[in-house]
Amino acid sequence: MNRLAALILASLVCFQCAQKVAPTGGKKDEIPPKLVASHPVNKATNFKENVITLTFDEYVVIDNLMQKLIITPETDNTYTPLVKNETVILKFKKPFADSTTYTLNFGDGIKDQAERNPAQNLKLVFGTGALIDSGRVYGTVKDIRTNQPVFDALVGLYRLSDTLTPERIKPYYFSKTDSSGRFSIENTQLANYLLIALTDKNKNLLYNPKDESIAFIDTIVQVKSDTNNYQLSLFHSDVTEPKIQRTIPKVNDYTLVFNKGMDSAAVDFHQGPNLHYQLESPTQLKFYNIPAQTDTIRASITVRDSLGYELTFDQKIMFLPQRGKEKQPSPTSIKNTPPTSEAIEPLLNLELALSKPILNFDSTMLTITADSMITVAQQNTSFTWNRDRTLLKLKAATEAKDSVVIRIAKGAFISIENDSIPATTYKYNILKPADFGIIRGTVQNPSGRSFFIELLDKDFKNVISEVNTSPFVFRNIKPGNYRMRLILDDNRNGRWDTGNFKRKQQPEKILVYPSELIIKSNFEYEENYFTIPSR
Q: Which of 68, 137, 76 is nearest to 105 (CA)?
A: 68
Q: Which of 501, 494, 458 is nearest to 479 (CA)?
A: 458
Tell me if 503 is assigned to some domain.
yes
pLDDT of residue 22: 40
Q: Parallel, antiparallel, or unpaired for β 87-92 and 51-56?
A: antiparallel
390-414 burial, b if ≥16 CB within 10 A, otherwise e? bbbebebebebeebbbbebbeebbb
Q: What CATH number corresponds to the domain at position 198?
A: 2.60.40.1120
Q: What CATH number corresponds to the domain at position 416?
A: 2.60.40.1220
| E strand intervals along 334-418 | 334-337, 347-354, 358-361, 366-370, 374-375, 381-385, 391-397, 403-408, 413-415
Q: Which of 143, 126, 135, 147 is nearest to 197 (CA)?
A: 143
Q: Last residue of a domain, which of 236, 269, 298?
A: 236
- Do 71 and 145 lie in one domain? The reply is no
Domain that holds residue 455: 434-531
Tell me if 395 is assigned to some domain.
yes
- Do 146 and 231 lie in one domain? The reply is yes
Tell me if 492 is assigned to some domain.
yes
Phi then psi for residue 491, to 5 deg, are -90, 5
What's this model's pTM, rounded to 2 decimal places?
A: 0.80
**Gap between the Cα atoms of 472 and 460, Å rounded:** 20
pLDDT of residue 273: 86
**Residues 92 and 77 sit within 8 Å (Cβ to Cβ):** yes
**Gap between the Cα atoms of 486 and 507, Å rounded:** 14
Tell me if 325 is assigned to some domain.
no
Q: Last residue of a domain, which of 369, 396, 431?
A: 431
∠ CA 473-477-480, nearest 5°, is 130
Tell me if 440 is assigned to some domain.
yes
**Residues 240 and 209 sit within 8 Å (Cβ to Cβ):** yes
Q: Considering its fold, how many domains does the chain have in total?
A: 5
Tell me if 196 is assigned to some domain.
yes
Radius of gyration of the chain (CA): 34
148 Cβ contact partners less than 8 Å away, ≥ 6 residues apart? 142, 181
Tens digit of pLDDT at every position of the chain (535 positions): 455 444 444 444 444 444 444 445 556 778 999 999 999 999 999 999 999 999 999 999 999 998 889 899 988 899 999 999 999 999 999 999 999 999 999 988 999 998 999 998 899 999 999 999 999 999 999 999 999 999 999 999 999 987 889 999 999 999 999 999 999 999 999 999 999 999 999 888 999 999 999 999 999 999 987 777 999 999 999 988 899 999 999 999 999 999 999 999 999 998 778 899 999 999 999 999 988 888 899 999 999 998 888 999 999 999 998 887 767 778 999 999 999 999 998 889 999 999 999 999 999 999 999 998 888 888 889 999 998 999 999 999 898 999 999 999 999 999 999 999 999 999 999 999 899 999 999 999 999 999 999 999 999 999 999 999 999 999 999 999 999 999 999 999 999 999 999 889 999 999 999 999 999 999 999 887 899 988 7
Tell me if 151 is assigned to some domain.
yes
Q: Last residue of a domain, which of 257, 288, 317?
A: 317
